[in-house]
Chains A and B, each alone.
Chain A
Amino acid sequence: MSATTAVTWSRPNQQPNWLVRLFDWKPFLAFACLLPAAGLLLVFLTYPLGLGIWLAFTDTTIGRSGYWVGIENFQYLLEDPLWWNAVFYSVFYTGVATFGKFALGLWLALLLNNHLPFKSLLRAIILLPWIVPTVLSAIAFWWIYDPQFSIISFLLVEKLGLLSSNIDFLGSAWPARFSLIAANIWRGIPFVAISLLAGLQTISPSLYEAALLDGSTAWQRFRFITFPMLLPILAIVMTFSIIFTFTDFQLVYAITRGGPVNSTHLLATLAFQRGIPGGQLGEGAAIAVSMIPFLVFATLFSYFGLARRKWQQGEGND
């Protein structure tokens, strides 16, 4: 027999208080967690978008609230050669720049995927064009394209003697259009290259070894292994790239402001031009809204056309 008596203690059956119970209740927790994000989206996305769409159906100008005019603004745009010009250049700009960014970006990604000395330094350098604020790089390009002080003209005329006079990059329509596309490609390459590099690194090296033993050439390995396996990520990156390029504003506005003679207006710059300096808020909004169908189409095309491949999906055999 032991002389001491055992101390008895049983775990108390604790009832959580009402606040704890409330947060344990799934529907409330979900609501509480979603609230901040939903609030931000509502205030900074839904409201401006809704206002823009509403403005597109009014004849609002700066300083005067407008009246509902139905689709009058859009009817007017269809007959407006400047709008058609902007549509043409937006599509052309997006098409050529996207092609350039992906060709060069993929090439860079493939290079960086090899074992190179100073690999991480090179990767950091490649990110530079993307890190620099757009307006800053636009001003740099403005200088590069300057009719008098352009470094390209300097090199070609003074140093190499290949040309007899300076190039007029921004003075006439087509050179200006291509100059802007070149600047956009320069800025867009890092995003494409780094994203595709991430994609390349997910491809198992043993696949290349297996293909090597199967007798493939370097081109065949790219064509049959790298490219198809990169396609899903390529689709996502391309979707984003198309959206960013089509809605581009800063580069064009900082370098040419749509000129010369409105030849380099994108839909975004034209919308701003009409809406803010021009004061025609309704019409500017209508131009902005007219971008939506193009964006939806481009997104659907690249998403459904390229994104999900049968081999990525799990079970099922159809």
Chain B
Amino acid sequence: MASVEIRNVRKAFGPVQVLHGVNVDIADGEFVVLVGPSGCGKSTLLRMLAGLENITSGEIAIGPRVVNNVPPKDRDIAMVFQNYALYPHMTVFDNMAFSMKLAKAPKAVMEQEVGRAARILGLEALLQRYPRQLSGGQRQRVAMGRAIVRNPQVFLFDEPLSNLDAKLRVQMRAEIKELHQRLRVTTVYVTHDQIEAMTMADKIVVMNGGHVEQAGPPLELYDRPANLFVAGFIGSPAMNLVKGGPGEGGFQAEGGAVLPLPGSARGEAGIYGIRPEHIQLREDGIPATVVLVEPTGSETQVIARIGETPLTCAFRERVTARPGETIRIMPEMGLVHLFEAGSGRRLAA
């Protein structure tokens, strides 16, 4: 096991810069999730860590060793690919034993190591099958088995769950998390799904446009997003971001609504953020017109308008209001986020 340090790493494909100086520190045994929208450079960063892409400038170190010029096979890493990249002409056993076969390991060692990984993942009965004969979840497990067998310093996952259906994704998410808790191997996991990031990570690195927007534990990102991008990206349904400025009686939104401001709020606040789950139904709340009601069972999502300002709310209570009716809502004062209008930076509130 090893720590990973990414220091001021840049990547350019010809004239196109895709990473503009990225710094990430990953502690030994940590589960780090790189998350961001498509094209933010997260997969490129992972592939650079794996040695599949050159590093244009900067340094990547695994443990004490800078690996910029170390070929992939000598970096002591294992990677799980998005499409699993199982060798279709080999059985599950041969797929998992391939790295040992290349290293000319004795047969007994191969059987022992593959057997160990197969027991961890529940693949014992499938060892003689070909990838074609496996379901999506089983293929995913074989790809993980191939990584486990290597006993690597670092596990890399490149959007491993995006080819699975929703239910299987939740199940595999739990399995990967559990596997990490059992093996305690440093893991770097790339996804565009912020729920995967929130549920699995020890630390989330939010990336956008080749920059790191914020890095930290999941709940810190949720509670104190450093900027507008992180605020909008983390959390589902997304945070309400209302433009406007401080005015008489609170925050004067562009749509005409007046929202309550915490006492400490400063004058330069240009954007008012409140998560849907932090809006309450209150008798003394602000009247709002219901636009849409979406019951999900565990909660009810309501889009309501104060004046012309639409707000998404998520209530634990069952709301029976119909579109057009008026409800009374109130943001929880302590959980309001304020951002600077121009830079989008969080204002310490």
Contacts and interface: CB of A to CB of B under 8 A. Distances in A.
Interface of A: 204, 206-207, 209-216, 220, 224-225, 228-229, 309-317
Contacts of B52: 209, 212-213
Contacts of B77: 213
19 contacts: A204-B83, A206-B82, A207-B85, A209-B52, A210-B79, A210-B81, A212-B51, A213-B51, A213-B52, A213-B72, A214-B73, A215-B73, A215-B99, A215-B102, A224-B87, A224-B102, A311-B88, A312-B88, A317-B128
Interface in B54-97: 72-73, 77-79, 81-83, 85, 87-90
A310 B85 contact: no
Interface stretch (B23-31, B129-137, B189-197, B289-297): B129-137
Contact of A206 (B83, B130, B133): B83
Interface of B: 50-52, 72-73, 77-79, 81-83, 85, 87-90, 98-99, 102-103, 128-133, 146, 150
Given A311-B90, A317-B133, A216 B73 contact: yes
Contacts of B132: 311-314
Contacts, number: 70
Given A315-B133, A317-B128, A213 B89 contact: no
A66 to B, nearest CB: 54
Contacts of B131: 311
Given A314-B132, A317-B133, A213 B50 contact: yes
Contact of B73 (A213, A313, A315): A213
Nearest to B91: A311
Given A314-B132, A317-B128, A214 B85 contact: no
Contacts of A315: 133
A317 B134 CA distance: 11
A25 B129 CA distance: 44
A229 B85 contact: no
A209 B102 contact: no
B133 A209 contact: no
Given A206-B85, A228-B89, A311-B90, A213 B78 contact: yes
Given A209-B52, A311-B130, A317-B129, A214 B98 contact: yes
Given A206-B85, A209-B81, A214 B129 contact: no
B276 to A, nearest CB: 39
Given A206-B83, A209-B81, A210-B79, A309 B72 contact: no
